[in-house]
Structure 1
Amino acid sequence: MVQWTVESLLQHLDDSNYSIEGQKSKLKSKSIKSVSSLYHGTSADVSFCQTDDVDRGILSITRSNAGMILCKKNMEGQVYPKQNKDQLLVFVHNPRLEFTRIAKKINRNHSSPKVGISSSSVIAGSAKIGRDCYIGDHVVIGEDCIIGDNSKIESKVNLQNCIIGNDCIIQPNTTIGSDGFAFERDSDTLELEKFPHYGKVIIENDVEIYANCSIARGSLSDTIIGQGTKIDALCHVAHNVSIGKNTELTAGTIIGGSTTIGNNCWLGLNSTIKNKLKIGNKVIVGSGSSVINDIDDEDIVAGVPAKSIKRKITANKEKLFLMAGQEEDVICSDN
């Protein structure tokens, strides 16, 4: 097992302009074993403080016993480590992001990655599974499905008509690649005729899909989930939808069929996107919104029906726009 010191962890910071408060002579000798919240941290833990409120941040940091705390740059010169605890404060631009990267490094060496295929899984003979994958209990993988390297398919997932890239994670009870909901009504008999589905679901690399999601196969084209996109629990993506790279769908989001969503978007809790819409890049959709019209790049919408509120946003600009990868200077502060 790798033994981490503060110095070795600092090498993994993406922010090269970090600064340190505390006994710098301890950088090589101080051991870090795990990660923790501020309030439960011990001298062998690394933690972080993300708040933009200086007074609140100072109070939280001074109460913590964590051995290494990642702090916001604006706290520098206003808060100091506990000398009796050999505490070190590291000031960075985005403590939560740096903490996430450090946590991955530490935890990767604390536990062995899950690799292997459960004996209770059902896998079609024509399916292809890459190297170092994990296929959990009672997983069903249909004919001609392809799963890339180092992907994790958790228990009771059902995969049909799909291609999944490398380094993907699909959590339990998710269904991918079943037929979408599409019918044509006969004007004479009023009976419903099911529209045929011949497409696939294409999931690119580094996609994470949380529990109990449903993603329908395309009808005459494919349903596509772009690289790095993350889909929270209880989401539904209908047939022929195309979602770009690094987009976040939070829990309960519903995407209607044949809708296109761009890169770096953030869709709030229980938001609904009507079918056949075009959502631009770096768009934020507020929680509970019902989107019935196309949305331009870098807009913010909310409400039922959803309307642009971008010009009304003035508070917490940086945090808000990081959700969708937007830069702070794109915000209009006009009321």
Structure 2
Amino acid sequence: MKITKDLIFHATKYVFKNEINYDGLGLLVTSSNAKLLSFIESQKYIAQVNENSSIRGIFCTQEIAELHQFRGDIDVIVVDDPKWFFFSIVDYLAKNKERIPTQIDPSTRVNSTAYISPVGVIIGKNCIVEPNVTIHSDVTVGDNVIIRAGTVLGGEGFEHKKTLHGILSVTHNGEVIINDNVEIGVNSHVAKGFSYRPTIIGESTKIDAFVHYAHGVQCGRECLIVAHAMIGGNVDIGNNVWIGPSAVITNRITLEDNCFITLGAVVTRSIKSGETVTGNFAIPHQKFLKNLKRSLAND
């Protein structure tokens, strides 16, 4: 949807003198052929703005605008709180998103107590949707998927912005994509994507009970994610990854193919392919055992 003066007025109730006509919104890391409107709150990001040819408009403060350091083709829109203006537009667009009617293949079995949004859901062949499942809009489910009782797909993730205008709770604008042969255990939550990054569960991945799979998490094929695991937002998970019971994975890191996260591990850094990590904070498993033996010997 085009970003215009009228749209920004509906989202923020502010009228701007600037000429405003953009193809969409984007964060500084967004790459596109379109003309995008973004924001910054610190001058340290000016270089990143200038290097991104997709960014053609920027919300910023008067202090940053007076530095006159932006690329010549970037429109500078001065506001008191750039974050609030940008995410108010994100929120408005998400709340007014157009969706197609829900489509469920006739071969899929849906329990009578399940709730499936009447718009924005696609469910493929031979799926099973158990009692008290909730499937919100913007969720696509492949074939042969099992969704166990009490699970929620496409719920709002935790995206609350502290601004000069108070806390802004931003409606999620992305999708959940669940590939074929996935199983999701009892009372788990798979959050809707955010900031144009969908949440993805790869083919034949199995998720146990009481797992939180946050917005923008993307995993590959044949991963096993065990009960009570918590995976923070925008984590990249490779193929054949094991995430043990009650493991905690911080946001915006990568777990490469075939890595193994042991039970209760708190992972705060990216993990290389084939690596096993243990502990809080997680370190290589063998190093953890050596440290443990040394500690016990000193007792």
TM range (shorter): 0.5 to 0.7
1:69 Cα deviation (Å)?
1.0
Distance 1:90 1:306 in 2: 52
The answer to whether the 8 Å contact 2:261/2:278 transfers is no
Aligned residue number for residue 295 of structure 2: none
State which structure, 1 or 2, has the greater radius of gyration over its C-alpha atoms.
Answer: 1
Distance 1:235 1:217 in 2: 12
Which digits, 9 at most, give the CA deviation of each residue in 1:90-125, with x for residues without a partner? 478886x9756634533654x51233124x352215
Distance 1:275 1:46 in 2: 39
Pick from 130, 136, 153: which aligns with 2:122? Answer: 136
Aligned residue number for residue 294 of structure 1: 278
| 1:8 alignment partner, SS class | helix
1:78 Cα deviation (Å)?
1.8
Alignment of 1:249 onto 2:235: yes
The answer to whether the 8 Å contact 2:102/2:117 transfers is no
Pick from 76, 80, 83: which aligns with 1:88? Answer: 76
The answer to whether the 8 Å contact 2:12/2:88 transfers is no
The answer to whether the 8 Å contact 1:261/1:279 transfers is yes
Distance 1:165 1:6 in 2: 32
Alignment of 1:177 onto 2:183: yes
Alignment of 1:210 onto 2:200: yes
List aligned pairs for 1:1-335, cutoff 5 A: 4-5=5-6, 8=9, 11=12, 27=16, 30-32=19-21, 34-35=23-24, 46-48=37-39, 56-57=47-48, 59-60=50-51, 66=56, 68-71=57-60, 75-79=64-68, 87-90=75-78, 99=86, 102-103=89-90, 105-106=92-93, 109=96, 111-118=97-104, 120-124=105-109, 126=111, 128-136=114-122, 138-142=124-128, 144-154=130-140, 156-162=142-148, 163-165=150-152, 167-168=154-155, 169-177=175-183, 200-204=185-189, 206-207=191-192, 209-210=199-200, 212-216=202-206, 218=208, 223-226=209-212, 228-238=214-224, 240-244=226-230, 246-252=232-238, 254-256=240-242, 258-262=244-248, 264-270=250-256, 272-274=258-260, 276-280=262-266, 283-296=267-280, 299=281
RMSD (CA atoms): 4.8
The alignment's TM-score, normalised by the length of structure 2, stands at 0.60
Where in structure 2 are there 5+ consecutive unaligned residues?
156-174, 194-198, 289-299
Distance 1:247 1:64 in 2: 24
1:224 Cα deviation (Å)?
2.6
Distance 2:63 2:240 in 1: 39
Matched-pair identity in %? 8
The answer to whether the 8 Å contact 1:158/1:173 transfers is no
Which digits, 9 at most, give the CA deviation of each residue in 1:128-186, with x for residues without a partner? 233335442634321625431524442524332514315345315243328xxxxxxxx
| Number of aligned residues | 257
The answer to whether the 8 Å contact 2:61/2:80 transfers is yes
Give the letter aligned to residue 224 of structure 2.
Answer: A
